[in-house]
């Protein structure tokens, strides 16, 4: 057979090399780019960029915050996990082993927390008037009738509810129990499918100011594509757009936790929890989520900025000399407060905070109406958490919505915080112990999610 011309031989070799390249898997790092290519630079409606937040959180805030949340004051959270769903009949998933929550035995709770979990100081805890309402009312005229005193207390509770973005549990209820958050960590439980979709569908479809005609992308419970969704979202006022981004950011954070603490091995001898890269990709890969994943991750940074700003504004509340994170261990309580103030001063010094003055500006009447809508929508979401069928998921859902709700309460109470008395309770602004624990643990969850993105970047870069 005659030898083919040199030009034909070179062409044949070129074709073979191209074909071989097509058969090869994507180059290293491509999996990482598909999740993170858009998660960079400046964030919408903000003056801060992703890279600055990564460095600030991962190397300054995160390690200090983890130490704080391991302390007794912040690890014990009182919650009612037995409340009835107010919207529909819930199918319990208590049969799923990892959905269970183990409440604390009363003798495990530090004395200072167990005796009066909402108090701030030793004096308040040892006072004969061991009642939260009496603390806020101060000295009630003893000549008043019992009926009048109760009416005043009801007015006080009403005022608290009027400023609250969440429907808080009654911690005096016999169904409310302390939970050790360190022994019941947020992680993948197996709770998924239609019941879980129903929770998020109710949140997004009924509480995010969205008309039914606009389809949310990748909604498993509705038909149609979400092509018009982002055009509609960009046309919203900044407040309603911020509301959606907060919920999306919270959703993204929860999905990151479930992917980072996934049950990788379950045998009779041990359980192994760790990072599930495939699960992360299914939730955030640009191709697998039709472009949704990177948007969700950017919204995580938005909620981080909102909660960060709230913590910067609440510093005067905790700086008061008579404020203690009281557990009964004086030396340890002093150390924990010192660490708390260190974290808050660090956050206060952050130069690129979200400007909440851009929200609810303009016409005062319209702004007040919009703020009330905002508050009621978020309050309704806090009630939906009692419909979560997995008890551990319900625990962390309630805590994180209460924490975010507390952050919003702080952001819109600027004048009250600026006028706090140097000592004693304020008649216009207060935080219960439950709100404090929820606020810092919720931010801890968001901070952990941002830190976990660094871990997932590294894992995805190793994929071929």
Residue % of the chain over a pLDDT of 70: 81
Among 105-114, 117-126, 170-179, 372-381, which is the least confidently predicted range? 117-126
CA distances from 38 to 35, 285, 296, 314 (A): 8, 11, 10, 33
Element (H, E) at 264: strand 262-266
In 40-102, DSSP assigns E strands to 76-79
Q: Give just the sign of the alpha carbon dihedral 142, 143, 146, 152.
A: negative
User: How does residue 216 score in pLDDT terms, banded at 50, 70 and 90?
Assistant: confident
User: How does residue 84 score in pLDDT terms, banded at 50, 70 and 90?
Assistant: very high
Q: What is the mean predicted confidence (pLDDT) over 44-56?
A: 90
- At 49, is the secondary structure helix, strand, or coil? strand
- Residue indicated by tokens 């046309």: 235
- At 458, is the secondary structure helix, strand, or coil? helix
Q: Which of 110-114, 117-121, 128-132, 379-383 has the highest mean pLDDT?
A: 379-383
Examine the pLDDT at 430 and tell me if it is beyond 80. yes
The distance between the two most distant Cα atoms of the chain, rounded to a whole number of Å, is 119
pTM of the model: 0.85
Examine the pLDDT at 7 and tell me if it is beyond 50. no
C-alpha 431 chain-centroid distance: 18
- DSSP bridge pairs for 42: 49
> What is the C-alpha to C-alpha distance for residues 38 and 456, in angstroms, rounded to an integer?
15
Helical ranges in 235-291 per DSSP H: 238-260, 277-284
Do residues 273 and 263 make contact, with C-beta atoms less than 8 angstroms apart? yes
Mean pLDDT across the chain: 83
Cβ–Cβ contacts within 10 Å for residue 452, how many?
A: 19
Residue-wise pLDDT tens digits, 117-161: 445 555 554 443 443 443 343 333 334 455 544 444 444 444 455
**pLDDT value for 115:** 74
User: Comparing 29 with 411, which gets the higher pLDDT?
Assistant: 411
DSSP string, 384-440: HGGG-SSHHHHHHHHHHHHHHHHHHHHHT-HHHHHT--SSS--SS----HHHHHHHH
Examine the pLDDT at 114 and tell me if it is beyond 90. no
Q: Which of 39-43, 217-221, 325-329 has the highest mean pLDDT?
A: 325-329
**pLDDT value for 225:** 58
Q: What is the mean predicted confidence (pLDDT) over 291-320?
A: 95
Q: What is the mean predicted confidence (pLDDT) over 323-347?
A: 95
Residue-wise pLDDT tens digits, 179-209: 999 999 999 998 888 888 999 999 999 999 9
User: How does residue 280 score in pLDDT terms, banded at 50, 70 and 90?
Assistant: very high
Examine the pLDDT at 6 and tell me if it is beyond 80. no
Residue % of the chain over a pLDDT of 90: 52
Do residues 304 and 314 make contact, with C-beta atoms less than 8 angstroms apart? no
Spell out a b/e string for 245-283, using b for 16 or more CB atoms within 10 Å of the CB, else e.
bbbbbbbbbbbbbbbbbbeeeeeeeeeebebbbebbbeb
Residue-wise pLDDT tens digits, 394-414: 999 999 999 999 999 999 998
> What is the C-alpha to C-alpha distance for residues 304 and 451, in angstroms, rounded to an integer?
12
**pLDDT value for 160:** 54
**pLDDT value for 252:** 97
CA distances from 326 to 75, 140, 332, 347 (A): 13, 25, 9, 23
> What is the C-alpha to C-alpha distance for residues 357 and 364, in angstroms, rounded to an integer?
13
**pLDDT value for 10:** 45
Q: Beta 76-79 vs 262-266: how paired, if at all? A: unpaired
- At 320, is the secondary structure helix, strand, or coil? coil
Residue-wise pLDDT tens digits, 236-255: 899 999 999 999 999 999 99
């Amino acid at each position: 057979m005659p030898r083919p011309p040199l030009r034909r031989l070179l062409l044949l070799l070129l074709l073979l090399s191209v074909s071989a390249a097509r058969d090869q898997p994507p180059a290293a790092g491509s999996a990482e780019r598909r999740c993170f290519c858009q998660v960079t630079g400046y964030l919408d409606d903000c003056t801060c960029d992703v890279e600055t937040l990564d460095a600030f959180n991962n190397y300054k805030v995160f390690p200090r915050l983890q130490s704080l949340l391991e302390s007794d004051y912040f690890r014990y959270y009182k919650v009612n996990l037995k409340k009835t769903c107010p919207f529909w009949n819930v199918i319990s998933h208590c049969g799923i082993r990892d959905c269970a929550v183990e409440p604390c035995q009363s003798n495990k709770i530090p004395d200072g927390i167990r005796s009066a979990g909402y108090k701030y100081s030793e004096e308040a805890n040892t006072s004969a008037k061991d009642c939260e309402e009496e603390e806020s009312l101060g000295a009630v005229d003893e000549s008043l009738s019992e009926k009048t005193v109760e009416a005043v207390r009801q007015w006080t509770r009403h005022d608290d509810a009027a400023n609250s973005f969440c429907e808080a549990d009654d911690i005096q209820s016999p169904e409310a129990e302390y939970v050790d958050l360190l022994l019941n960590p947020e992680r993948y439980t197996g709770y998924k499918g239609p019941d879980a979709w129903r929770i998020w569908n109710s949140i997004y479809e009924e509480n995010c100011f969205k008309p039914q005609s606009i389809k949310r992308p990748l909604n498993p419970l509705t038909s149609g594509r979400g092509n018009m969704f982002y055009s509609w979202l960009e046309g919203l006022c900044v407040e309603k757009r911020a509301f959606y981004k907060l919920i999306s950011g919270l959703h993204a954070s929860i999905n990151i936790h479930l992917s980072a603490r996934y049950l990788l091995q379950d045998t009779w001898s041990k359980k192994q929890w760790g990072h599930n890269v495939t699960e992360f990709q299914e939730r955030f890969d640009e191709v697998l989520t039709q472009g949704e994943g990177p948007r969700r991750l950017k919204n995580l940074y938005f909620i981080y900025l909102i909660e960060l700003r709230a913590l910067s504004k609440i510093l005067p509340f905790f700086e008061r000399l008579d404020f203690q994170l009281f557990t009964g261990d004086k030396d340890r309580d002093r150390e924990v407060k010192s660490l708390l103030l260190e974290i808050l001063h660090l956050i206060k010094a952050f130069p690129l905070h979200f400007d909440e003055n851009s929200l609810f500006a303009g016409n005062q009447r319209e702004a007040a109406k919009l703020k009330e809508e905002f508050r009621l929508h978020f309050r309704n979401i806090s009630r939906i958490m009692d419909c979560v069928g997995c008890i551990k998921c319900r625990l962390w859902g309630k805590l994180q919505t209460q924490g975010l709700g507390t952050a919003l309460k702080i952001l819109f109470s600027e004048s009250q915080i600026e006028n706090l008395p140097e000592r004693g309770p304020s008649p216009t602004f207060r935080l219960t112990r439950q709100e404090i624990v929820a606020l810092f643990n919720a931010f801890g969850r968001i901070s952990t999610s941002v830190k976990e993105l660094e871990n997932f970047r590294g894992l995805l870069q190793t994929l071929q």
